[in-house]
A and B are shown apart, each in its own frame.
Chain A
Amino acid sequence: MSAGAIHLSLGWHDWLNLFAHYLMLSLMSLGGAISTTAEMHRFLVEQHGWLTQAQFNDAIALAQASPGPNVLFVALMGWHVGMNAGSTTAAFLGVAVTMVGIMLPSTIFTYQVAQWGHRNRELRAVRAFKQGMAPLVIAMLLSTAWILASSAGRGVADWPLWALALASCLVVWRTRLHLLWVLGAGALLGAFGVV
C-alpha cells in the first residue's frame, strides 16, 4: 500500500468538509453507494489530494473481496485519509466521518418512504409499483452478475472464470448447497491457478 505517499495535516474544517460531502453523496447514491464512486474520486483524489490513486483502487478491490456489504469501501477511504493525516486515531475518525455521512441521510429517507409504502400497501398505485418494478429488479440482478463476472477484464482469456460463474449459478439455482462451499471452491480454483 502506498500509505505515506501523502502527508496531510487536516483541520476541523477539512473533516467537516469531508462529512458534508458524504452527506450529499448519500442522497445521490441511487442504485447504491458504488454509483457515486466517480464523484468520490473527483473529490478525494483530484480536488483535495487526500488519497492516492492506488489507495482509491485498493479500497474498492478490498471491499469486494472482504465479506460484508460493498459500502464498506467508503470506510476504507476514510481510513486511508486518516492514515495519510498521520495517525490511527485520525484513521478511526475518518471511518466514522465517511460512514456516518454516507449512511445517515439515505437511511432516514428510505426508512420514512418504506414505512409509508407499507402502511399504504393496498393502494393500487403501490401494488402497481411493486409488481411493475419486478422485471427490472431481475434485470438489475442479472446485470450486476454480468458486470462482476467481466471485471477481470481480460476478454476471451477469462473463459474459465465465466465457466466457474455459470457453474456456481446452476449449483445455487438448482441445489440447496451452502453458499460458503461454493465460494470456498471458487477460492481454491483461483488460488491454484485453474481459473
Chain B
Amino acid sequence: MTPAPSADHPRPASLSHLFVAFTLLALQGFGGVLAVVQREMVERRRWLTQDEFLDDWAVAQIMPGPNVVNLAMMIGARYFGLRGAMTALAGLLAVPLVLILVLVNLHARFAGNPHVEGALRGMAAVSAGLIAAAGLKLSNVLLRSAMPAAWCIAITVLGFVLLALLKAPLAWVLLGLGSLGCVLTYRKMTS
C-alpha cells in the first residue's frame, strides 16, 4: 500500500530524500540503529504508523539478514519499489561504512584510553535504554490485536525470559512462541 501523502502520513519526496533520511538515521545509531528507526520513521517523519512499523519489523526479524537492513529495504520498497529498497540500503550503509573504516585506522591510537573506553561504555548503556523504550512504545499496538491482552503479555514475558535470561536460541523461540502467537491470533480472527 502506498498511502496518499497527507499531513499525518507524509512520504519521502524523492529517492535522494530517502537516501539522506536513512543516512542521517544510521549516523544516530550507536550500538545499533533499531531504536532510531522507530524514532525517526514513526515519530519524527511519520512515514510509517506504529502498526506498519511492527508489521515490517516482524518480517524483517524472521527473514535472514541484518534486521535493520531488511527493515530499511522494506520501507524503501513501500514508496519506490525496488529502486527505493536499494536507495534506503545504500543510505543506511554508505556513509557509516566509510566512517567505520576511518575509525578502525584511528582505533589503534586510542585503544586503552580510559576516557574513550568509558565513553563507549556510557553510550552502550544509553543504547540499551533506547532500544527498551522503542519496545515499550510499540506495546500499545497490542491493545488492538485480535489476541486477548493477557495472552499477548504472557508471550512477551515468556519471550523475554527465554531470550534474555535463559539465552535460548532465537530460531527456536521464533518457531515455538512465534507460531503459537500466530495460531492463537488466527483462531480469534473473525474473518
* A interface, CB within 8 angstroms of B: 1, 3, 26-33, 35, 58, 61-72, 75-76, 79, 95, 99, 102-103, 105-107, 109-111, 113-115, 117-118, 121, 124-125, 127-149, 151-152, 161-162, 164-173, 176, 179-180, 182-183, 185-195
Contacts and interface: CB of A to CB of B under 8 A. Distances in A.
Contact of B96 (A29, A67, A107, A146): A67
- The list of the 8 closest CB pairs from A to B, nearest first, reads A190-B122, A68-B96, A106-B65, A139-B159, A168-B129, A141-B135, A186-B126, A132-B182
A144 B34 contact: yes
> Chain A CB within 10 Å — which of B107, B142, B171 has the most?
B107
Contact of B36 (A30, A161, A179): A179
Given A31-B170, A62-B100, A188-B119, A114 B138 contact: no
B191 A124 contact: yes
Interface residues of B, number: 108
B65 A33 contact: yes
B121 A190 contact: yes
Contact of A146 (B157, B164, B189): B164
Do most interface residues of chain B lie in helix, strand or loop, or is the interface mixed?
helix
A3 B123 CA distance: 27
A110 B120 CA distance: 33
